[in-house]
Amino acid sequence: MHILVPVKRVVDHNVKVRVKSDGSGVDTAGVKMSINPFDEVAVEQAIRLREQGLASKVTVVTCGGAISQDVLRTSLAMGVDAAILIDTADTAVDSIRVARLLKALVQREEVGLVLCGKQAIDDDLGAAGPMLAAVLDWPQAISVNRLSIAGGVLDLQCDGDQGLEQWQTRAPAVLSVDLRLCDARSITLPNMMKAKKAVITTVAAVELVAAADTKARVSAVAEPPARPAGIKVSSVDDLIAHLQKLPVLSA
């Protein structure tokens, strides 16, 4: 079984995000960028499945310009077999276009399972997995925190509105994984050096899907409003009186 793992280049989770002065987006100048943590977990799980003999090949893919190769090399250093860059540097993309690009790649590479992070930490949309499953007409599972495969059956545990849910399905499928699924391995220096020399296949977006107008665009980006300062009360009665004045309780 060939596993495909889409990964995204995002601002490192340890960095405080700054909004551009004109509100057009997030300022990434001089900011450390990393692989999306949820996608990193998906990469680790795919490698483990291959190590268990349940997958024959693991390929990672990302959309972007040449600068996005760093997240692919991180994945190569972790142990994936191949990396593909879909060059969208000169093309406007949104979630549905990314899903259609990935669909074309899945069909071209004869992929049997797609593992992706349930969301990206930059926009928190969580759209890639569900949209890809929809355009492929494949079964899907979201927020997967446990995965095992036996006899061709995917045994899954997912977060649900009322607790943990147990599901079973068969490949091909699209699984959006949660951080609790597994812990990503540490990358050794020799593997990182090998990854720097590894070949990355670059494919122009128009080779997979004809250019089309995007369906969504960012109108503005702004920081959340500052939280008001807290107050101290001298007694339980004062606390109750203060809470009773809050709009949510006075409605």
pLDDT: which is higher, 220 or 41? 41
Is residue 250 very low, low, confident or very high in pLDDT (cuts 50, 70, 90)? low
Is residue 251 very low, low, confident or very high in pLDDT (cuts 50, 70, 90)? low
Residue 169 domain-assigned? yes
Are 117 and 38 contacting, i.e. CB atoms less than 8 angstroms apart?
Answer: yes
Task: Express each pLDDT in 53-71 by its tens digit.
Answer: 999 999 999 998 888 999 9
Residue 233 domain-assigned? no
The total domain count for the chain is: 1
Buried-state track 24-52, b at ≥16 Cβ within 10 A, e below 16:
eeeebeeeeebbbbbbbbbbbbbbbbbee
Residue 251 domain-assigned? no
Buried-state track 123-135, b at ≥16 Cβ within 10 A, e below 16:
eeebbbbbbbbeb
Residue 236 domain-assigned? no
Residue 32 domain-assigned? yes
Nearby residues of 50 by Cβ (< 8 Å), 6 or more positions away: 3, 56, 57, 58, 81
Structure tokens at 198: 């590894």
Which CATH number belongs to the domain containing residue 101 in this structure?
A: 3.40.50.620
- Structural domain containing residue 220: 2-226
Structure tokens at 138: 């494949």
Residue 242 domain-assigned? no
